[in-house]
Amino acid sequence: MENNIVGIVTKNPRNDYGLSFSTWSLRVLAGFIFKDVHLMDSISHTEIRNILLKYGVKWRQSKITLGNSQDSEYHLKKGGLRN
């Protein structure tokens, strides 16, 4: 079963599965394995991460950091949202 997960994550979601994105996230991968492939009854993104670490598979982690934006006007924009 772990080999199947590694096989899925090493494929391009857009090209190989017809999905609208080209990079897996751990949560999306967990949902795909559970809902679309029906490989397992349930699996968490943490379990997926542990399997990928075990097999030495690299994945792209999110680069979005809330509150630490590179936008020079971030604090002005954020301040405008407060009431």
Q: Average pLDDT for residues 22-48, to the nearest whole number? A: 85
Mean local confidence (pLDDT), 71-81 = 63
Length of the chain: 83
48 by Cβ neighbours in 10 Å (0-12 / 13-18 / 19+) ranks as: buried
- Interval 1-32: pLDDT, tens: 888 889 998 898 899 999 888 888 888 888 88
Compute the average pLDDT of residues 44-57. 90
Place 83 in a pLDDT band, splitting at 50, 70 and 90: very low
In contact, 41 and 31? CB cutoff 8 Å:
no
pTM of the predicted protein model: 0.64
